[in-house]
């Protein structure tokens, strides 16, 4: 009996000596939500808001560095699948095939969440008389059937989230006009539209929707943001304002989604929780996007344009 008790006590001591505290285990991780560095990829359309999110997170967590590479949506997802990043910010959730590939090849289950919604703004030359469009007119511009032969300009012809939205949600099987033009970036679209009266640009509202941002104010001086016919009231035209996006009154609304594949509770997980949490959602609201995880209060006001 005494021998058994001694054996149990010795075994217990050995077990305890081999156990590590939570803090010791945490310190062995390559990074945590409040220390270390991580690389993520983000859709270039959302650069202004992602830059702000990263700046605030790093300011609140001085021991962290989040390096963001801005790419087309397709390239962001490619980074995720080839395991070069642990998190991406794009406009769609991973497909069943992409989830299966990550589970089988990378041995990790991807998590995703819609954190905000934005709209695709239509921008025209500051001297243009065409500042009001129905969605049928937008479709005519995209297919080359518009009577004024207006030319659409995008942030790239292939692989961008803007083009994918246009093809999937507006054209729905019809072909994009061969006269469509591509700029290198969303800022490039704005610059091109500002000097070419016969074109119509399509950019994320994150580039032109915040009148309190000095960079966006400079863009708004170079172009006009067009009104599009409302989804809920024929003959009523709206801009891609926050309330119109939130209520989906504006017809071209899309999601901002994070996709996370991290095996430990690291910096990417911390940043994902941040963008879906209170501070991140306030940043989206102040950037004039529609927060998806916190309720946005809408009050009626009179706006003179």
Same domain, 204 and 219: yes
**CB 194 within 8 Å of CB 222:** yes
Looking at residue 206, the DSSP 8-state letter turns out to be G
Question: Nearest-5° angle of CA 150, CA 155, CA 157?
Answer: 75
Q: What is the pLDDT of residue 3?
A: 61
- Residues 163 and 100 reside in one and the same domain: no
Does residue 202 sit within a domain? yes
User: Is residue 20 one of the residues assigned to a domain?
Assistant: no
Could you give the 3-state DSSP secondary structure of residue 58?
helix
Answer whether residue 287 is part of any domain.
yes
Same domain, 151 and 163: yes
Domain that residue 77 falls in = 30-117+254-291
Q: Which of 169, 218, 161 is nearest to 185 (CA)?
A: 161
268 pLDDT band, cuts 50/70/90, is very high
Least confidently predicted of 65-69, 154-158, 274-278: 154-158
- The answer to whether the CB of 46 falls within 8 A of the CB of 209 is no
* Total domain count, the chain: 2
The pair phi, psi for residue 152, each rounded to 5°, is: -80, 145
pLDDT digits (tens, 9 = 90+) for 142-176: 999 999 999 999 988 777 999 999 999 999 989 99
Across 108-167, the runs of DSSP E, i.e. the strands, are 111-124, 132-133, 151-154
Q: Is 299 inside a domain boundary?
A: no
Are both 129 and 218 inside the same structural domain?
yes
Task: Say yes or no: 63 and 131 in one domain.
Answer: no
Check whether residue 195 and residue 136 sit in a common domain. yes
CATH code (residue 77): 3.40.190.10
Question: Per the domain annotation, does 129 fall within a domain?
Answer: yes
Q: What is the mean pLDDT of residues 165-191?
A: 93
Query: Are residues 171 and 205 both part of a single domain?
Result: yes
Band of the pLDDT at 192, cuts 50, 70, 90? very high
Q: Does residue 142 lie within any of the structural domains?
A: yes
- Do 132 and 233 fall within a single domain? yes
pLDDT, residue 216, reads: 83
Report the distance separating Cα 226 and Cα 152, nearest Å. 14
Q: What is the pLDDT of residues 21-66, one digit of tens each?
A: 545 555 667 899 999 999 999 999 999 999 999 999 999 999 999 9
Answer yes or no: do 181 and 202 share one domain: yes
Residues 137 and 245 in one domain: yes
Question: Which of 90, 126, 305, 290 lies closest to 201, judged by CA?
Answer: 126
Q: Kindly give the residue spans of alpha helices, DSSP state H, lying in the chain.
A: 2-18, 22-27, 47-60, 73-81, 96-105, 135-143, 161-165, 186-195, 214-220, 242-246, 267-276, 278-286
198-251 pLDDT, tens digit each: 999 999 998 988 878 888 888 888 999 999 999 988 899 999 988 899 988 999
Residue 43, domain member (yes or no): yes
């Amino acid at each position: 009996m005494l021998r058994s008790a001694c054996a149990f006590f010795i075994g217990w001591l050995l077990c305890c000596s081999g156990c590590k505290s939570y803090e010791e285990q945490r310190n062995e991780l390559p990074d945590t939500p409040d220390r270390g560095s991580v690389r993520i990829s983000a859709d270039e359309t959302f650069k202004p808001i992602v830059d702000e999110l990263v700046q605030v997170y790093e300011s609140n967590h001085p021991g962290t560095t989040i390096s963001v590479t801005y790419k087309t949506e397709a390239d962001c997802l490619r980074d995720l699948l080839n395991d070069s990043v642990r998190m991406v910010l794009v406009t769609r959730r991973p497909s069943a095939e992409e989830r299966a590939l990550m589970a089988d090849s990378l041995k990790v289950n991807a998590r995703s969440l819609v954190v905000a919604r934005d709209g695709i703004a239509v921008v025209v030359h500051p001297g243009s008389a065409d500042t009001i469009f129905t969605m049928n007119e937008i479709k005519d511009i995209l297919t080359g059937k518009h009577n004024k032969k207006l030319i659409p300009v995008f942030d790239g012809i292939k692989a961008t989230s803007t083009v994918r939205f246009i093809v999937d949600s507006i054209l729905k099987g019809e072909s994009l006009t061969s006269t469509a033009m591509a700029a290198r970036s969303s800022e490039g679209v704005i610059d091109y539209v500002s000097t070419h009266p016969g074109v119509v640009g399509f950019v994320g509202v994150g580039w032109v929707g915040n009148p309190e941002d000095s960079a966006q104010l400079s863009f708004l001086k170079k172009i006009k943001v067009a009104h599009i016919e409302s989804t809920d009231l024929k003959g009523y035209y709206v801009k891609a304002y926050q309330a119109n996006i939130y209520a989906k009154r504006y017809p071209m609304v899309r999601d901002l989604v994070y996709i996370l594949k991290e095996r430990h509770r690291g910096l990417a997980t911390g940043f994902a929780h941040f963008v879906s949490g209170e501070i991140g959602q306030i940043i989206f609201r102040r950037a004039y996007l529609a927060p998806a995880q916190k309720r946005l209060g809408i009050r009626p006001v009179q706006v003179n344009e």
